[in-house]
Structure 1
């Protein structure tokens, strides 16, 4: 009698592009598809040539590839729980000529022993699931649900993983919903200092829907709230700085406070 093993059907993919075509990007045809959040985080990340970077939950590799388009002289590792997304990230690295600079490791961020070398990274990035399980209505698509809803790991786990991965005075940058800021500040403050909160406003005069948080290991500077970034003009078009970041991959920084 032969035994059969049930396997998941292959994930249908499309080839799209990011940064105005500078990045070729394979992603699932259905389910989670990259929006502007990973591109914004890559544009706001304090990355410099020669850094070692870790992306927690890298998905198909949008953040690393956008970051490498801006700062090619980086070494990036990505951790991703879903094997299908790991495979897409590896294919995207090859597709963009970055296989020698972008390594993908399959597994969970809270794994012990960790999937990364502790204290070895200059910069850690994260675009974690935005929805807490108690308030979420998960998608029937497994990959989309995994990307949007916290499951085995919560916000504090991502912060702890970043702390373990970073060298002394290394930086952690993450993007999250603005209404979850209270969930993030307490665990961040326990582990990091120099916390910067950068609100992302959908239009002038509107409440922020997203925030980018940047914190530093081994310092105790007080929290700072920036003037933030307005994403869209009143007519719905992107503001000039955001349009430039999305089309060219250039760095994006909040306007100076008056």
Structure 2
């Protein structure tokens, strides 16, 4: 159960999809950058028991919500109120098996500003993509995994922000329906990874090329993620 504001930024399916794609195991540590009210990290913690949870959120209102949501769901999580580009010393002293992030989607150079400040920060933000990737890279343990979800058209920017410390890059395109262009991507990269780049087959969220009737028409694998906390169905 996730408490979110009645007005302002609220999580949709993207953080849930990202959480389902994190291949974490019990006993490992996870840091989420930009956690909002906690949708991604708490979905991950629900699916994989025994994780050591940390998260960073720049907006105090949402950081407090994340703390409350973690407590109400019975999770012990350390939530830091800080900017991704200026983490507190106690956090920079730690490294993690997994870093996850759902960075702001809108490009400040071309996107419009929202009239609601919290939505504006969540969707646009003031922190450059390079800083998100640099912060994530520094906080990963050797052989640790970075998992991101982002807009598909931001993939070149994400790849330019990564340097030789990150490898084993794989990209899963996400499309609303079969035959449509991808509008989201899930990205995995490993610190110190050396396997070749892999572009997976697209994963569509809904059944069929068009919406034919009223009601939900998620593909069974996607419905299982959203309704029962299943793991992501990785394509070949």
Aligned with 1:196: secondary structure?
A: strand
d(CA) in 2 for partners of 1:249, 1:142: 31
Aligned residues: 230
Match of 1:52 in 2: 29
The answer to whether the 8 Å contact 1:56/1:80 transfers is yes
Aligned with 1:135: secondary structure?
A: coil
TM-score (norm: length of structure 2): 0.93
Match of 2:134 in 1: 160
TM-score (norm: length of structure 1): 0.86
Aligned with 1:241: secondary structure?
A: helix
Match of 1:225 in 2: 199
Aligned with 2:4: secondary structure?
A: strand
Match of 1:69 in 2: 46
Which residue of 87, 95, 104 corresponds with 1:120?
Answer: 95
Which residue of 250, 253, 256 corresponds with 2:230?
Answer: 250
Instruction: Point out where structure 1 has 5 or more consecutive residues left out of the alignment.
Output: 1-23
d(CA) in 1 for partners of 2:65, 2:114: 21
- Give the drift of 1:110: 0.8
Instruction: Answer yes or no: is 1:240 the counterpart of 2:209.
Output: no
Cα 1:87–1:119 shift into 2, 3 Å: closer
- Give the drift of 1:226: 0.8
Residue deviations 1:47-77 (CA, integer Å, cap 9, x gap) = 1111100000011011111001100210110
Instruction: Point out where structure 2 has 5 or more consecutive residues left out of the alignment.
Output: 212-216
Residue deviations 1:201-220 (CA, integer Å, cap 9, x gap) = 11001000000100000123
Cα 1:142–1:204 shift into 2, 3 Å: same
The answer to whether the 8 Å contact 2:82/2:88 transfers is no
Cα 1:141–1:115 shift into 2, 3 Å: farther
Cα 1:162–1:247 shift into 2, 3 Å: same
After TM superposition, the runs of 4+ consecutive aligned structure 1 residues lying more than 3 A away are: 112-115
The answer to whether the 8 Å contact 1:118/1:164 transfers is no
Residue deviations 1:84-118 (CA, integer Å, cap 9, x gap) = 001100110111011x2x11010011116556244
Which residue of 136, 144, 156 corresponds with 1:170?
Answer: 144
d(CA) in 2 for partners of 1:192, 1:114: 23
Aligned with 2:2: secondary structure?
A: strand
Instruction: Answer yes or no: is 1:42 the counterpart of 2:22.
Output: no
Which residue of 181, 196, 204 corresponds with 1:207?
Answer: 181
Cα 1:174–1:190 shift into 2, 3 Å: same
Match of 2:214 in 1: none
d(CA) in 2 for partners of 1:59, 1:72: 21
Match of 2:8 in 1: 31
Match of 1:129 in 2: 104
- Give the drift of 1:150: 3.0
Match of 1:146 in 2: 121
